[in-house]
Amino acid sequence: MSGSGSTGTGYRVWAVGGLPEVRAGDDLAKLIAAAEPGLADGDVLLVTSKIVSKAEGRIVRAEDREAAIDAETVRVVARRGTLRIVENRQGLVMAAAGVDASNTPAGTVLLLPEDPDASARLIRDGLRDALGVEVGVVVTDTFGRPWRAGLTDVAIGAAGVRVLDDLRGGTDAHGNPLSATVVATADELAAAGDLVKGKASALPVAVVRGLGHVVVSDDAGARVMVRGARDDMFRLGTSEAVRLAVTQRRTVRSFTDEPVDPGAVRRAVAAAVTAPAPHHTTPWRFVLLESAASRVRLLDAMRDAWIADLRRDGKPEESIAKRVRRGDVLRDAPCLVVPCLVMDGSHTYGDARRDAAEREMFVVATGAGVQNFLVALAGERLGSAWVSSTMFCRDVVREALELPDDWDPMGAVAVGHPAQEPRARAEREAGDFIAVR
């Protein structure tokens, strides 16, 4: 098979035949050298991870494949039925953590190589010793991809290969600057090899010739192709996003000076108003205090009202000053949001017990909306703290913010970029909070 490479010259890719069944302890470099002794400098070997795992003894007893997947999983990204997309110990996000129950004896499963980059280096060095050639080696595995049907091979390990081709700073054929183009060369090589290896043809190794410019003497391995959490815009999968509400969202009380994207806050409000509510009502209103002047006006008015209340209660001035300082989280945040409850659409029963229950339903619905809001902020990588203080001086808040009389402030949410990583939350056993009847 041939095609045009990135240099404009042709290349060839072919599968290597004649390889025996690989067993634990086999020297893959020697097996490949015996099957393809004509390897030349600048060739790239594409080696299916399955035979690497077999040679490295990564076959384990596992009557229950799910237990093996659990053992290899760092976090669950998404789940549908028995299918799980997870991050595994190698940092790869893939189905079933790469645990394979095919082409392996009954009652066993095949795990991915523990260090695929080290595996690729071992094969490259072995081929240099056996044949005296400088080649690149890519260890491949099969991946599905978000938003795309079908499977393809990608690089999970590499040695002697420029895995990423950074074209930023150059120009295209029309002279336009390239500002975001980084080509996943190793993945392209892996996919090219899969075209001739196939999924069921028992040809686990392929060779690419004619792309010697991608073969290098030093390399960073395929690990650099794994996108870090900070740069991963899609890190929160379905399962993880649900768990975020109870396990990952934190109350953040210290923020940086970095401005908050108003669009992010509005997207969080859009999530908030999907919460359930009684009688098909919409009991939520969110007042966004995005200017420093509006925040100062509100917080000064609340502070003065709070001090007056504490003095009426007979609190000493030292205690008053200490309590007021606790409200600094709202003053220090670059954005402040005041969620409000409105009772539009509520029913009046003329019975105190039922009327009280009606209001409680609306309060619960507002709380659900605020929880949605907090979780959505976390998804935007923003920290937040929901503080109850506006509930104790609602008239003052309504006056300072010029709100309608029927808007009841339900606390205030400080929003900003966390100044430091939140501390780990103490573990809570769900069973301690469950009653079964």
Q: Whole-angstrom Cα distance, residue 76 to residue 79?
A: 7
Q: Is the pLDDT of residue 368 over 70?
A: yes
Whether the per-residue pLDDT at 348 is higher than 70: the answer is: yes
Residue 386: per-residue pLDDT: 94
The per-residue pLDDT for 335 is 94
163-172: long-range contacts at Cβ-Cβ below 8 A with a sequence spacing of 24 or more?
Answer: 163/219, 163/220, 163/221, 163/222, 163/224, 163/225, 164/224, 164/225, 165/6, 165/214
- Among 117-126, 156-165, 285-294, 419-428, the range scoring the smallest mean pLDDT is 419-428
Domains of the chain by residue range = 2-231, 249-433
pLDDT at 394: 95
- Greatest Cα-to-Cα distance within the chain, rounded to the nearest angstrom: 94
pLDDT score of 253: 85
Mean pLDDT taken over the chain: 89
Cα separation, 120 vs 47, whole angstroms: 9
pLDDT exceeds 50 at position 218: yes
Say how far residue 87 (Cα) sits from the centre of its chain. Answer: 9
- Is pLDDT above 80 for 357? yes
Q: Does domain 249-433 have CATH number 1.10.10.10?
A: no
pLDDT classification of 425: cutoffs 50, 70, 90: confident
Q: What is the pLDDT of residue 6?
A: 46
Is the pLDDT at 118 greater than 90? The verdict is yes
- 3-state class percentages of the chain: helix first, strand second, coil last, to nearest 5: 40, 25, 40
The position carrying tokens 């072919």 is 14
Which among 335, 319, 299, 320 has a CA at the least distance from the CA of 416? Answer: 335
Judged by average pLDDT, the poorest of 68-72, 138-142, 166-170, 345-349 is 166-170
pLDDT value of residue 229: 79
Q: Is the pLDDT of residue 207 over 60?
A: yes
Q: Which two tokens stand for residue 173?
A: 């054929």
Residue-wise pLDDT tens digits, 125-140: 999 999 999 999 999 9
211: pLDDT strictly greater than 50:
yes
Q: And the tokens for 302? A: 């609340």
CATH code for residues 2-231: 3.30.1330.100
Stretch 92-100: mean pLDDT = 91
The amino acid that residue 196 corresponds to is: V
pLDDT for the residue numbered 131: 97
For the segment 5-42, what is each residue's pLDDT rounded down to a tens digit? 445 578 999 999 999 999 999 999 999 999 999 999 99
pLDDT digits (tens, 9 = 90+) for 229-285: 778 877 777 666 666 555 567 888 889 999 999 999 999 999 999 999 999 999 999
Average pLDDT over residues 309-315: 89
Alpha-carbon gap, residue 182 to 168, rounded angstroms: 7
pLDDT, tens only, 194-206: 999 976 678 999 9
Q: State residue 4's pLDDT score.
A: 40
How far is Cα 101 from Cα 381, in angstroms, rounded to an integer? 38
Note the pTM of the prediction, 2 decimals.
Answer: 0.63
pLDDT tier, 92 (very low <50, low <70, confident <90, very high otherwise) = very high
pLDDT band, very low/low/confident/very high, at 3 (cuts 50, 70, 90) = very low
pLDDT reading at 345 higher than 50: yes
User: Greater confidence, 180 or 407?
Assistant: 407
Query: Confidence band (pLDDT; 50, 70, 90) for 327?
Result: low
